[in-house]
A = this chain, B = another copy of it.
Amino acid sequence: MLRTHTCGELRIENIHQEVTLAGWVQRVRNKGGLIWVDLRDRYGVTQLIFEEGSTDKALLDKAASLGREFVVQAQGKVIERTSKNDKIPTGDIEIKVESLTVLNSAKVPPFIIEDETDGGDELRMKYRYLDLRRNVVREKLQLRHRMMQETRKYMDAQDFIEVETPVLIKSTPEGARDFVVPSRVNPGEFYALPQSPQTFKQLLMVSGFDRYFQIVKCFRDEDLRADRQPEFTQIDCEMSFVSQEDILNTFEGLTKHLFNAVKGIELEEVKKMTYAEAMKYYGNDKPDLRFDMKFVELNDLAKGKGFSIFDSAELVVGICAQGAGEYTRKQLDELTNWVKRPQIGAKGLVYVKCNEDGTYKSSVDKFYSNEDLKAWAEKMDAKPGDLLLVLSGDEKSTRKQMSELRLKMGEDLGLRNRTVFKPLWVVDFPLLEWDEETQRYHAMHHPFTSPKKEDIPLLETDPGAVRANAYDLVINGVEIGGGSIRIHDRATQQLMFKHLGFTDEEAQKQFGFLMEAFEYGAPPHGGIAFGFDRLCAIFGGSDSIRDYIAFPKNNSGRDVMIDSPSTIAEEQLLELSIRVALEKK
């Protein structure tokens, strides 16, 4: 090793020792005859000292010539500092340097390599390898490392077998777009990259593996949003001979283990809520339970009083924002404008202030008496000082708008604390959802999810009402993952494909191998997948997953550091039996 110690480990106990450190120059302070250098590595910072008289002139000159981010090796003696720094663990000591080797010089970095940087997003992505030098960024990837190790430790202890499923698989048009890979050896044919190892993990259950897991890269060629990446990582699992309850218990166990081992947090028991309840009370299948502010339906109280907007609405619904009764006119106007933005799409916002004196002040005083508003307040469990916010319209849009408003109020009132974690199982998802564009039903989870037995007859009469054995884990309003109990017999799987609009031939061509496998003794089974990037972001208290990925791509799916994707050589195309066919402009 080019060092005897790291830059993070020397303490007062080490004084008088001869040591060699290696690392990056974080800072040089030159007081003429006295030079201090902060030497940094992954493990910490240690101060080097060069002093005129006790150090030869050449060494002093060399120290003076060091620039930021130079890589150096310094050999010397650990001494006690005269003025200690209690902000860093090595702050009691410094190294009186006897020899100094510049291992590599460095150009001036394009942005400051400190926790607070002056680099913009684009610049930091282009020089990602410099951005990763910043402690705050590297620590996110160290958190990710810790979470991977702890996940595996837990799964291994629970008798799960980690199996690597293939990356070069087969394209299936169901779901998102596939990335494809032309096969040179099989001209005109293509592999696809997996959107998930779904069929393989089910085949492993048919194989009797009983408990499978994998931390695995998956790929979706979607139009990217800020928080999506074309390649992402899942904790992927499957179990045999289980009920839904067994899966929830196992992965609640994993979640608790991770919070405990990585963050030292004892998580409370994970609540359960049906999809129907989540939609009714939070207008959302991933409610943020760090705060309450449940929806209260007001149709019975608000209709028939001459306010035509409410009278003609399918739904009148309110939330009670505790302690927001003091909101000013300006704040209320801003809220109203906020819900009327096209992204939210509400027509307007009705408010009721619950005054401290027991009276009410609302934006609809013309139509509702103090008695009327009192009835609203009572139904909504409001206290003096609270603010009621009411939206109306068609049921679906109104719930959606109210969900957004609820989240905003939670944010504005400081109820969405990033160090508080409220996990929730949402269960009993619908099996199918109607797609307006294609005018047919799609699988809400995926085509391998089993319907609830008692709902199977509804498949023919009211497909949208069929509930699935499907569940999501939600933490703080973020969907961490989901899964289902799978279909494990050919007949049901065929029925499912039929309802999804597959012809028998299409189903056979794409998933024939799976249906055939079900005929050779498939056990009842189910599983789950967690979005690992997002889980890490939640643990780190971030909204964006990008910082938790070592080398992420930008919103055009481009890695600006290595400049990829890029054109390839004509010979490569020829060998692969493909040609580029750009549309004419």
Contact = CB atoms under 8 A, between A and B. Distances in A.
Nearest to A22: B241
Contact of A129 (B517, B582, B583): B517
Contacts of A551: 165-166, 200
B104 A521 contact: yes
Interface stretch (A156-164, A323-331, A398-406, A438-446): A156-164
Interface stretch (A86-94, A352-360, A572-580): A572-580
Interface in A398-420: none
Contacts of A41: 208, 210
B208 A556 contact: no
Interface string A535-561: 000000000000001110100111101
Contacts of A161: 141-142, 145
Determine the interface band of chain A, counting residues with CB < 8 A from chain B: 35 or more
Q: How many copies does the complex hold?
A: 2
A105 interface: yes
A28 interface: no
A23 to B, nearest CB: 8
Contact of A231 (B129, B167, B559, B569): B167
A368 interface: no
- Chain A at the B interface: mostly helix, strand, loop or mixed? loop
Interface stretch (A171-179, A265-273, A421-429): A171-179
A182 interface: yes
A50 interface: no
Interface of A: 1-3, 22-24, 40-43, 69-71, 73, 103-107, 109, 127-130, 132-133, 138, 141-142, 144-145, 148-149, 152, 156, 161-171, 173, 177-193, 199-200, 203-204, 206-210, 217, 219, 221, 223-224, 230-231, 233, 241-243, 246, 488-489, 513, 517-524, 549-551, 553, 556-559, 561-569, 572-583
13 contacts: A104-B488, A107-B520, A141-B163, A145-B162, A164-B217, A164-B233, A166-B551, A177-B184, A186-B565, A188-B567, A188-B582, A191-B564, A573-B581
